[in-house]
Structure 1
Amino acid sequence: MLVAKHGHVLFEKAYGKRDAKGDDPATLDTRFNLASAGKMFTSVAVLQQIAAGRLSLDTRVGDVLKDYPNRSFADTVTVRELLTHTSGAGDAGLLGTENAANRARVHSVADMVALESKNPPAFPPGTKQVYSNFGFVVLGRMVEVVSGEDFQSYLRRHIFEPAGMAHSGFIDCASTAPDLARGYTADDGKLEFDCETLPGFPAGGEAATAGDMYRFVQALQTGKLIPPALFARATKTYRMFMGLGFFATDYGPNIPKRDFRWGHGGSASGVCTDIRTYPLTGETIVTLSNQSPPGCFSVAKFLHQDYAKTHQEQ
């Protein structure tokens, strides 16, 4: 857990075990699987390419991925639609026990794209919003092509290092590294380990500490990673709960302005992560867990509501 306000950390503490089948406790240096919260890194990489003039929100997939097999997808789906989950891209065929064979045979982001690239959009792009992991795989590949760097190297050089995220990186979920949290699900009373994370997965294949995720938030807020004006556009609500690759949610009639937040959550078997910032109150709340959802989301929401109630901020 980490709670900060206006650039100052108010509370930071680790709880529980790093591995439920072991005895060592989680610490502030424990790295947690971020799951879909890692999509923020892909979003920032795309926004950096937009700032550099190599992409635009209206760039189509086929403008960059020239040999993309399904032309109805390549010629119609835009960066904007991929970032806002309105592309009809669908899932990536890499998560879940049923996709273990797919995970075993992919070795690059290009391989991940090839799994689903023959499929057309599930609906006319821009007409619906359906959360899509594969859309972010496509974005990761686009970043590789326009930057000339592989995805993992790009994130290390242009996001993790500039933001001072020394404990963040890509993970093999089967790793037994002593600083990596290990999560389980209960199956007939037994703890079962599910390994569904791929190193280099642009839809969420990274691990980080709570402190590093706060450094990431600060780097965004100070313009260290992308220009402030572009970041402001990215964290504005475009459709339902989404900005440009960031959640931008809790707003509307009868909802206090203090409840609007940007960030991203993540969930999987034995993984629950939530990174959220409330611009009006200045709060940033980071909850990283090796427990299945929805626990971390409830904790983050409680902390914000308790703070707002205590300070009576409207």
Structure 2
Amino acid sequence: MESLRLVSEWPAEHVAVALIKADGTVLATHGPQDHPFRLASVTKLLSAYAVLIAVEEGALEWDQPAGPPGSTVRHLISHTSGLAFDSDTVQARPGTRRIYSNTGFAVLADAVAKSSGIEFADYLAEAVFTPLGMTSSRLAGAAGAGGIASCADLALFAAELQAPKLIAAQTLTEATRQVAFPGLDGVVPGYGRQRPNDWGLGFELRDHKDPHWTGRRNSPETFGHFGQSGTFLWVDPVAGLACVALTDKDFDKWAIEAWPVFTDAVLAEVGRA
């Protein structure tokens, strides 16, 4: 695909990209598919999926208390617990603000470990990595940002996000198509305050956010996440396509400028096919 040539201009030593169709087949790739990359906050998609599985298995309940007083598992996974970005400081009452929080995901992981009796890294591996065949993936740090994976592995995960086998379709729909605690404003790191800053259960919802790391051709139904290590994964159900892009160049102005252009070029090309 001609659009994939754009990534050769990205200022990274290693870049790997994969486009995955709704039926799970890989449409096109670029770069080293088996190279391990730091995922940063793309890790949250994997951790959130483990939480969805834990809820379906009965190890957790959405309304189970977790985090600050009044906060629940649902608050933590949707960044509405009131916890600060990277500390235990409580900045708001649960359910009143969308405060993007790495700490919230750490507390969430602790809740899974306590309820299941399995360390979260092991739970994630057993519940998500192993059944999907993600042999290069591991959690090497915090549940919100400590993941390592290859593009080939995340292509398998992107296929799962379009045709789930590990969870019920209705569970995935709730996580990716329904706003958790609607109407809350908040900041998307690197892109400023969004009004509203809609989020699902661990998945950022594109909706009509502007500016945004996806493209203008992405449908409002698009969901996914990007990471400060220069990584992203989005799924556009309307286009019937998912895109994984992994780099070893930290997120900065280059990504803000390059990612939407690349995504729009991909969607334009796919739309013409």
- The TM-score with structure 1 as length reference comes to 0.68
Residue 213 of structure 1 is aligned with which of 148, 154, 160?
Answer: 154
How many Å separate the matches in 2 of 1:28 and 1:257?
Answer: 24
Matches for 1:70-109 after TM superposition, within 5 Å = 73=68, 75-93=69-87
Paired residues in the alignment total 233
- Asked if 1:264 is matched to 2:225, the reply is yes
* Partner Cα distance (1:31, 1:160) in 2: 14
CA contact (8 A) 1:50 1:57 kept: yes
Structure 2 distance, partners of 1:256, 1:30, is 29
What is the CA–CA distance in structure 2 between the aligned matches of 1:34 and 1:122, rounded to whole Å?
27
Q: Which residue of 1 aligns with 2:260?
A: 301
Structure 1, unaligned runs of 5 or more: 15-26, 63-72, 94-115, 172-198
Answering whether residue 164 of structure 2 is matched by residue 223 of structure 1, we say yes
Shift in CA distance, 312/47, structure 1 to aligned 2, threshold 3 Å = closer
- Whole-angstrom CA distance in 2 between matches of 1:86 and 1:168: 28
| 274 and 298 in structure 1: CA distance in 2 versus 1, 3 angstrom threshold | farther
> Which of 242, 245, 259 is equivalent to 1:287?
245
- The alignment partner of 2:41 has SS state of helix
- Cα separation, 2, equivalents of 1:311 and 1:11: 11
- Deviation of 1:42 (Å): 1.7
Retained in 2: the 8 A contact 1:3–1:283?
Answer: yes
Helix, strand or coil at the partner of 1:288: strand
Is residue 128 of structure 2 the alignment partner of residue 167 of structure 1?
no
Query: Residue 33 of structure 1: CA displacement?
Result: 0.2
**Post-superposition shift, 1:53?**
2.4
Which amino acid is the alignment partner of residue 281 of structure 1? A
- Paired with 1:290 and 1:137, the residues of 2 have a C-alpha distance of 24
Partner of 2:99: 130
Give me the whole-angstrom Cα distance separating, in 2, the residues matched to 1:266 and 1:208: 13
Q: Deviations over 1:73-121 (max 9, x none)?
A: 2x3111111111111111335xxxxxxxxxxxxxxxxxxxxxx3xx5x3
Measure the CA separation in 2 of the matches of 1:237 and 1:266: 22
SS at match of 1:258: coil
C-alpha change, 1:4 and 1:299, in structure 2 (3 Å) is farther
Between the aligned partners of 1:237 and 1:153, the Cα distance in structure 2 is 29
Q: 2:162, 2:237 within 8 Å by CA — same for their partners in 1?
A: no
Deviation at 1:241, TM superposition (A): 3.2
CA offset at residue 308 of structure 1?
A: 3.6
State the partner residue of 2:205. 248
Q: In 2, distance between residues paired with 1:143 and 1:234?
A: 17
Q: 2:27 aligns to what? A: 10
SS at match of 1:11: strand
Code of the residue aligned with 2:133 in structure 1: it is: G
How far does residue 135 in structure 1 lie from its aligned partner after superposition? 0.4
C-alpha separation in 1, matches of 2:161 and 2:173? 10
**Is 1:235–1:262's contact at 8 Å kept on the other side of the alignment?**
yes
Task: Give the TM-score, by structure 2 length.
Answer: 0.78
- Shift in Å at residue 134 of structure 1? 0.4
Contact 1:274-1:286 at 8 Å conserved across structures: yes
| 8 Å contact from structure 2 (residues 113, 120) kept in 1 | yes
* CA deviation after TM superposition for structure 1 residue 205, in Å: 0.7
Instruction: Map 1:140-155 onto structure 2 (within 5 A).
Output: 140-155=109-124
Return the letter of the residue paired with 2:75: E
Secondary structure class of the residue paired with 1:264 = strand
Q: Alpha carbons of 1:165 and 1:296: their partners in 2 closer, same or farther (altered >3 Å)? A: farther
Aligned to 1:189: none
Which structure has the greater CA radius of gyration?
1
Looking at structure 2, the residues matched to 156 and 28 of structure 1 have their Cα atoms a distance apart, in angstroms, of 20
In structure 2, distance between residues paired with 1:310 and 1:164: 30
* Contact 2:21 2:159 (C-alpha < 8 Å) held by counterparts: no
| Aligned mates of 2:221, 2:263 — CA distance in 1 | 11
Amino acid at match of 1:262: F
